[in-house]
Amino acid sequence: MSQNDSFLDRQIALLIKNAPKDGATPGAVNLVASVLKAIANRLRHLNYFVLQDRYGGWLLTTLSNRESPDIEKTVVYAYCSRTVANLECLKLASRDIECMEYGIIDILFRLIGLKQVDSLIVFDHPTNAQQGTEIARQDLEKLCEKQIKRVKFSHRKLQEMKDSTLC
């Protein structure tokens, strides 16, 4: 196991530990952990900085398509460097916006629930806040749904095997 895998496993464990004790969220995190970890492993950093308001709401940015200005999408930016995130924050000239550091697993899990967000744009290079990696929320959600179905199918098959051996 690589050091990154170990660190991502700790992020997953922390996310499960801090999840609401509602009987569903910790289990949901556990079910989709492999999907979150696979996506996180494609990125260059384990932690990113996100701009947010003082209440913890992430700053949403609406982008327009250059060829079709009527096509828009809402994104959240995640920066690999506090310096770059602070520079972007300064450009906004707002005292209500700050940059906060999050583990990539936490960011990806939160993204699933942000229905008003189309994508997360991850900037992996501290010298370039113009080109990032886009992670579409719907794609992430579909991957997680497939994983949940796979796990449920496996559990059902195991139960059927157990039941057939008891007869």
Torsion angle defined by CA atoms of residues 129, 144, 8 and 133, in that order, rounded to the nearest 10 degrees: -10
Whole-number Å distance between alpha carbons of 77 and 83? 14
pLDDT tens, residue by residue, 58-111: 999 999 988 888 899 999 999 999 999 999 999 998 989 999 999 999 999 999
Whole-number Å distance between alpha carbons of 152 and 23? 17
Domain 3-166: CATH superfamily is Uncharacterised protein PF11572, DUF3234 (3.40.1350.90)
Mean pLDDT of 122-144: 92
Share of the chain above pLDDT 70, in %: 98
pTM greater than 0.85: yes
Whole-number Å distance between alpha carbons of 17 and 58? 22
pLDDT (0 to 100) of residue 142: 96
Give the pLDDT band of residue 166 (cuts 50, 70, 90). Answer: low
Q: Is the dihedral of CA 107, 109, 110, 113 positive or negative?
A: positive
pLDDT tens, residue by residue, 45-60: 999 999 999 999 999 9
Whole-number Å distance between alpha carbons of 53 and 59? 7
Q: Is 78 exposed, middle or buried (0-12, 13-18, 19+ CB in 10 A)?
A: buried
The tokens describing 127, both together, are 């010298």
| Helix locations, 19-122, DSSP H | 25-41, 82-92, 104-113
Whole-number Å distance between alpha carbons of 109 and 10? 14
pLDDT (0 to 100) of residue 1: 65
Q: Which residue has the tokens 């008003």?
A: 116
pLDDT at 153 over 80: no
Of the candidates 130, 60, 64, the one whose C-alpha atom is nearest the C-alpha of residue 97 is 60
Give the pLDDT band of residue 26 (cuts 50, 70, 90). Answer: confident
pLDDT (0 to 100) of residue 167: 58
Q: Is 58 exposed, middle or buried (0-12, 13-18, 19+ CB in 10 A)?
A: buried
The tokens describing 72, both together, are 């828009």
